[in-house]
Chains A and B, each alone.
Chain A
Amino acid sequence: MRFDSLLGSVGRTPLVGLPRLSPSTDVRLWAKLEDRNPTGSVKDRIAVRMIEAAERDGRLSKGRTILEPTSGNTGISLAMVARLRSYRLVCVLPENTSDERRQLLRMWGAEIVPSPAAGGSNEAVRVAKQLAAENPDWVMLYQYGNAENTQAHYATTGPEILEDLPTITHFVAGLGTTGTLMGVGRYLREKAPGVAIVAAEPRYGELVYGLRNLDEGFVPELYDESVLTTRFSVGPREAVRRTRELLETEGIFAGISTGAVLHAALAVARKAVDAGDRADIAFVVADGGWKYVSTGAYEGTLDDAVDRLDGQLWA
Chain B
Amino acid sequence: MSIEVRIPTIMRQYTGGEKAVDGAGDTIAAVIDDLESRHPGLRERLVDNGGLRRFVNVYLNDEDVRFLDGLKTPVADGDSVTVLPAVAGGSAR
Interface set of A (CB-CB < 8 Å, partner B): 41, 43, 69-74, 119-122, 125, 143-144, 174-178, 201-204, 206, 208-209, 212, 214-220, 223, 228-235, 238, 257, 263-264, 267, 286, 313, 315
Contacts and interface: CB of A to CB of B under 8 A. Distances in A.
Given A120-B90, A122-B89, A175-B91, 18 more contacts: A43-B93, A69-B92, A72-B93, A177-B92, A201-B88, A212-B85, A214-B53, A214-B86, A223-B88, A230-B64, A230-B67, A231-B66, A231-B67, A232-B64, A233-B82, A234-B62, A286-B93, A315-B91
A223 B93 CA distance: 15
A264 B61 CA distance: 10
A219 B45 CA distance: 20
Contacts of B61: 267
Nearest to B91: A176
A74 B62 contact: no
Interface residues of B, number: 27
B62 A209 contact: no
5 contacts: A176-B88, A212-B10, A214-B56, A229-B67, A232-B63
A4 B89 CA distance: 38
Contact of A220 (B9, B59, B63, B88): B88
Contacts of A202: 90-91
B1 interface: no
B25 interface: no
B62 A263 contact: yes
Interface string B69-92: 000000000000010111111111
Interface of B: 8-10, 45, 53, 55-57, 59, 61-64, 66-68, 82, 84-93
A82 to B, nearest CB: 17
Nearest to B93: A73
Contacts of B93: 41, 43, 70-74, 176-177, 286, 315
A121 B64 contact: no
A219 B92 CA distance: 11
Nearest to B62: A232
B84 A218 contact: no
Nearest to B56: A214
Given A214-B53, A217-B85, A233-B82, A208 B90 contact: yes
A234 B59 CA distance: 10
B63 A122 contact: no
Nearest to B63: A232
B56 to A, nearest CB: 7
B8 A217 contact: no
B88 A175 contact: yes
Given A215-B55, A233-B64, A267-B62, A203 B84 contact: yes
Nearest to A180: B93
Contacts of A267: 61-63
Contacts of B85: 209, 212, 214, 217
B92 A220 contact: yes
Contacts of B86: 214, 217
Contact of B92 (A41, A119, A176, A235): A176
A230 B85 CA distance: 18
A231 B90 CA distance: 16
A122 B84 contact: no
A183 B59 CA distance: 25
A87 to B, nearest CB: 20
A115 to B, nearest CB: 12
A209 B84 CA distance: 11
Contacts of A234: 62
A216 B86 CA distance: 8
Given A229-B67, A230-B67, A208 B89 contact: yes
